Structure 1
Amino acid sequence: MFKKYIFLLLTALVTYSAIGTETIYAQSTANQIISAGKEQIGTPYRWGGTTTSGFDCSGFTGYAFAQAGISLPRTAAEQYRVGTSVSRNDLQPGDLVFFRTYNSGPSHNGIYIGNNQFIHSSSSQGITISSLGNSYWNPRYLGARRVISAAQSQPDSQVKAASMASHHNSVTVELNGTALSFDQNPIIVNGSTLVPMRAIFESLGANIEWDGANKQINGVRNDQSVSLIIGQTSAQTNNGSISLNEPAQIINGRTIVPLRFISEALGANVEWNSKESKVIITD
């Protein structure tokens, strides 16, 4: 009897642990998605847009989810078929919400952020936050889909984790012999190492300013200046233009840029130790 009790207790603990881990994963992922979405508030609406220069509704949701390593289909109608259906009473932050606008099917969508609100790309306001109880959106509400929890159990379906996720903790950075720590670790994307811009620039003594309206970052160090816009593959310095092999992007609310950019922008010496997956910066 006692052995049976111990078995049942251990089973319950393992089950609880698994559920707890999945819950933490979902909450963390939802926070990443919502944070990435809020970074784009004010970005204009653009029909067919999928970049930070302009989004349509599904282009925006696809972008926000991609910042958390989750790939979505392109259109609102296609996104309405992924994940699992969620009732309006059970909505959680990170769920996709859908609406009927110009036809009977899903023609508009956004991301639920809690408190009966969702963030979306409005054709009249661009990226903005609206209420589900709004007199326009409430009667047009169609349904919701939960994608985040499905991303673990269906890695080969239409929703999949991006390969960059496996690299979040694999790259370290050393500046003048001292290891740096970040709240967003360097990652590898398409073979290129991307590192947190602000943390490294400030460690090198540069001042950084964020222009949210234009999604632009400006840095100044002594007589050197640099400016770049999120999503673009070039940056401007007082010595001319710098080409980026990967565009500057935002992950977990932090701007990351190609490693080579650090050297070309501020004149620091940058080396890559492939055996230790270590970035070595000397100034």
Structure 2
Amino acid sequence: MDKTEPFHKIKGLLVDIDGTLYFKGTPILGAIETVSNLRDKGVRLLFFTNTDSKSPRTVLNILQEYGFKINKDEIFTPIIALKEFLTKNPDKKSYLVTTEEVAEEFQEFPQVLGSEIPDFVIIGDFHDNWDVNRLNVAFKYVLKGAKLLGTQGNKYYLDRNGEPVIDTGSFVQMIANTANIIPKIFGKPSKEYFVQALNKLKLTPNEVLVVGDDLESDIQGAINSGIKGVLVKTGKGQFFDSKTTKIKPFKVIKSFSSISDFFK
């Protein structure tokens, strides 16, 4: 790592969670201490994730149970972004394809009853009731004019055993392609998601680094938003090969703890 580069302008970090702070149900070596050290140095932190199967509270609880000293206001998930959007559209009705836990997060917002056609079809992680008929109902609604909203754009994720599992983005794109429409994505790699995250830090793109393990969601998303992206070689990042991708991270580091070298 070239320590001569001017990192004095960096005031904050947008940090991915799963695969970056922990992996396979275990905190990554040095990550807990690094969060505390960065905070002591005055670095602003926002932990943003594509996790859409759990409520923001559960995401926070998991991190705190691992030993991370993180506050509620430092968590940003697609569920938070989507709720902010629906708050601005209070009269719109939705049809949800999500887990039961996430569906509870949206009880305050109008949802379709009977034969009504929704304004929005929301596709998220629905692994607790993986029924293709739910997707088919969503598809029919989209054909009838409902706007397709995807909680995030990941094609796949790695489960607790490190095995790949089809993720939300793949299902959203399947419906979008079949219906010949463009969906609205709320999580990574959506540029809007990164802009929202910057706004929460109250910093500009050149004052922030994105740190994550996913080339497409984290690094390409950062590049599209004018932010420097740092890839960690943990989680999905362990498979990184610069010869097989056109996506070029600003830096590639061994793990999250290596980010401390930027702030010495």
Normalising TM by the smaller chain, what interval? under 0.3
Q: Could you state the TM-score of these two structures normalised by the residue count of structure 1?
A: 0.23
Q: Could you state the TM-score of these two structures normalised by the residue count of structure 2?
A: 0.24
| Greater helix content | 2
The structure with the largest alpha-carbon Rg is 1
| Greater strand content | 1
